Amino acid sequence: MTAEIHDIADHRPHLMVVASGGAHVIPRSLVQSVIDGKQPSSILTEPVVQRIIEEWLQKVSA
């Protein structure tokens, strides 16, 4: 199995989401493109989406 490696410095700013046993570093622009409907939400894994919603819910419920 091989993985494509990218230099995250080229994709700042970015978000770090701790989900499914590991940390995921996601460019903010990718998340914004999902919000804007330019990318399908399926581009993000289910555990990442769940964690983003969980953190958002904690912020709006506080």
pLDDT at 32 (0 to 100): 94
Q: What span, in angstroms and rounded, lies between the C-alpha atoms of 60 and 62?
A: 6
Instruction: List, for residues 19-60, the tens digit of each pLDDT value.
Output: 887 888 888 999 999 999 999 999 999 999 999 999 999 999
* Mean pLDDT of the 1-14 span: 73
Domain boundaries, the chain: 8-61
pLDDT at 4 (0 to 100): 75
First to last CA, the chain: 43
> In terms of pLDDT, which residue wins out, 13 or 10?
13
pLDDT at 1 over 60: no
pLDDT at 43 (0 to 100): 92
